[in-house]
Amino acid sequence: MFDKEKFKNLLEKARGDRSNEDYSRDSGVSRAYISNFLNLKRDIPPTPDILKKLAETAYGNVTYRDFMDAAGYLNLDEVNKEIITLETKLKEIYEIICVKRKESEVLRQNIQDLENNAGTINQQELIMHIDIWQKQIEQLEQEFYSITCQLDQYKEIRIDIIDINSESCSKEGVVTSSNSDIREIARAGNNMTSDEAAELRKFAERLFPDAFKKNS
């Protein structure tokens, strides 16, 4: 969750003895944008891209991780939940768009039949329905695009969180890997008792003896 007060304090520390204008010039982030956060006028945190810019020229040993934490981005579970929610919305909107496109095509075919057969159905009414549905489709497509952009942003945030956590683990002497399965096994190991971990190792050694020989 975004903590405006915490972010403000961190931003002040990162700015140091510079003016907002100086920090803006150094970081490439607009002065007004920085000022809004310092004055608690924004309820939504900056994107990770902007946080990176602020961190690159920050004073007071403020890091990108510090900014990500203050912005509320480091909760991987929450980010994953948001990704699932957005993906579900996209699927629902896509299905609605497909249905409306099919219905629109049926109406267009009816109009064509009227022109060919001089039928009695109100052609003007069909055209009106097509126009209405076309506008609805356009609105849905705009919403689809907007949600897609949000989804891409959250996926980038997830990558940043994983990278940040990997860097932290490396500093603490924890072995990291680009393989997600290996990282998942390592996380599971942190939740095991000593006896459970010992049993898992024995089982793994029997299955993959060569892997353990390389590490011995």
Same domain, 89 and 148: yes
With a cut of 70, which residues of the chain have pLDDT below it?
112-123, 165-184, 187, 189-192, 213-216
Same domain, 82 and 158: yes
Same domain, 149 and 187: no
- pLDDT for 48 equals 86
Same domain, 63 and 125: no
Same domain, 105 and 133: yes
Same domain, 83 and 167: yes
- pLDDT for 204 equals 81
Same domain, 160 and 207: no
CA dihedral 192, 194, 198, 204 (to 10 degrees): 20
Q: Looking at 70, 101, 117, which one is the last position of a domain?
A: 70
What crossing angle do the helices spanning 20-27 and 4-15 adopt, rounded to 10°? 80
The reply to whether the predicted model has a pTM over 0.75 is no
Count of domains forming the chain: 3
Same domain, 120 and 195: no
Q: Looking at 40, 70, 100, which one is the last position of a domain?
A: 70
The domain of 122 spans: 77-171
- pLDDT for 53 equals 94
